[in-house]
């Protein structure tokens, strides 16, 4: 399509409405051709995105584009993004929420309802005022976190809370202080339990879910961003999780991990080799290591992962922790 439409989509925040195309000289045939050529993708009725940049976005970022296209259909100041839509717009990680559905809070006395992939909430869902991000109204971070935590299950609660703490958007005491208005919300009780577990050291949702597996499996609680030191006290490595009493570390290997850690002029193979050397250094200092992947931390496989972690912890404790106490 013409560069003008690409620029217009960027101005909108990543999307094009059908009315935008028609206003700038295009037609329905223009849209059909672009969709057929896989240049555009339809994300809701009358709303399109350019495939190439959109496909490179995270699921949360894609949801933000969808949410913007919904909000912009309403008069300014009449709605605000809330729940997981606001959480995503604040840049938080979200797990277990339906990202095909946008949540709005009505500021114009509009009725609560669900229609066309949009959940409309009444003004009673506005807690703690509103903020503006990219020219659009949102509930504040603390409200978005608790709304999302009550809306999702315990895993989703922990992921969004960890994300807010890790990014410094909330402090632990703020997370606790802002729980009050949500005390009677459905889902509030397990969310408050997760708030006590939330940890700023969790850098990714996968690390949060790996910690949840430990909680669910009644395993010892791991430390986040665990540092392995040499005998002389010098730094050797930092691991996602660690159990000092067991001399054991845990690593979450996400799909993006090796590209995230790639240095200039490296490819993924270089990162894998460097990671193998790092693991060898950790094991050489009498530490065991467990790795987990996305499929393993999901609910259907988490019990098997918990059993493996329990076995690995017991083995490291027997091989490394007890032996060190004996020779001390």
Q: Which fold has domain 3-55?
A: Arc Repressor Mutant, subunit A (1.10.10)
Q: pLDDT tens, 213-259?
A: 999 999 999 999 999 999 899 999 999 999 999 999 999 986 555 44
The neighbouring-strand residues paired with 119 are 103, 114
Q: Is 3.40.960 the CATH number for 206-327?
A: yes
Tens of pLDDT, residue by residue, the chain (328 residues): 678 899 999 999 999 999 999 999 999 999 999 999 999 999 999 999 999 999 999 999 999 999 999 999 999 999 999 999 999 999 999 999 999 999 999 999 888 899 989 999 987 767 778 999 999 999 999 999 999 999 999 999 999 999 999 999 999 999 999 999 999 999 999 999 999 999 999 999 999 999 999 999 999 999 999 999 998 999 999 999 999 999 999 999 865 554 455 556 666 676 777 788 889 999 999 999 999 999 999 999 999 999 999 999 999 999 998 766 544 4
- What's the 3-state SS for the chain? CCHHHHHHHHHHCCCEEHHHHHHCCCCHHHHHHHHHCCCEEEEECCEEEEHHHHHCCCHHHHHHHHHHHHHCCCCCCCEEECHHHHHHHCCCCCCCCCCCCEEEEECCCCCCEEECCEEEECHHHCCCCCEEECCEEECCHHHHHHHHHHHCCHHHHHHHHHHHHHCCCCCHHHHHHCCHHHCCCCCHHHHHHHHHHCCCCCCCHHHHHHHHHHHHCCCCCCEEEEEEECCCCCEEEEEEEEEHHHCEEEEEECCCHHHHCCCCCCCHHHHHHHHHHHHHHHHHCCCEEEEEEHHHHCCCCHHHHHHHHHHHHHHHHHHHHHHHHHHC
Question: Which of 153, 16, 143 is closest to 92 using CA atoms?
Answer: 143
In this prediction, residue 327 carries a pLDDT of: 44
Name the residue ranges covered by the structural domains of the chain. Answer: 3-55, 59-197, 206-327
Q: pLDDT tens, 287-302?
A: 999 999 999 999 999 9
Question: 117 and 83 in contact (C-beta within 8 Å)?
Answer: no
In this prediction, residue 223 carries a pLDDT of: 98
């Amino acid at each position: 399509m013409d560069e003008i439409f690409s620029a217009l989509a960027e101005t909108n925040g990543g999307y094009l409405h059908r009315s935008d195309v028609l206003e700038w000289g295009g037609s329905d045939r223009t849209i059909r051709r672009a969709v057929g050529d896989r240049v555009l993708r339809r994300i809701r009725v009358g709303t399109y995105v350019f495939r190439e940049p959109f496909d490179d976005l995270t699921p949360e970022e894609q949801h933000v584009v969808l949410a913007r296209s919904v909000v912009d259909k309403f008069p300014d100041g009449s709605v605000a993004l809330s729940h997981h839509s606001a959480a995503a717009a604040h840049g938080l990680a979200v797990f277990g929420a339906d990202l095909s559905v946008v949540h709005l809070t009505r500021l114009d006395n509009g009725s609560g309802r669900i229609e066309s992939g949009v959940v409309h909430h009444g003004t009673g869902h506005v807690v703690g005022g509103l903020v503006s991000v990219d020219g659009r109204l949102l509930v504040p971070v603390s409200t978005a976190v608790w709304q999302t935590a009550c809306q999702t299950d315990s895993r989703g609660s922990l992921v969004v809370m960890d994300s807010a703490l890790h990014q410094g958007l909330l402090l632990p005491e703020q997370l606790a202080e802002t729980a009050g208005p949500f005390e009677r919300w459905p889902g509030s009780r397990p969310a408050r339990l997760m708030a006590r577990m939330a940890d700023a050291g969790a850098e990714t949702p996968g690390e949060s879910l790996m910690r949840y597996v430990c909680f669910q499996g009644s395993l010892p609680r791991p430390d986040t961003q665990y540092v392995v030191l040499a005998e002389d006290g010098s730094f050797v490595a930092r691991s996602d999780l660690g159990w000092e009493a067991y001399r054991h570390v845990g690593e979450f290997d996400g799909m993006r991990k090796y590209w995230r850690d790639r240095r200039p002029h490296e490819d993924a193979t270089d990162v894998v080799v460097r990671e193998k050397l790092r693991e060898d250094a950790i094991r050489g200092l009498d530490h065991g290591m467990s790795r987990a992947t996305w499929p393993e931390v999901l609910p259907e496989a988490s019990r098997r992962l918990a059993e493996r972690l329990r076995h690995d912890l017991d083995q490291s404790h027997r091989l490394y922790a007890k032996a060190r106490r004996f020779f001390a």
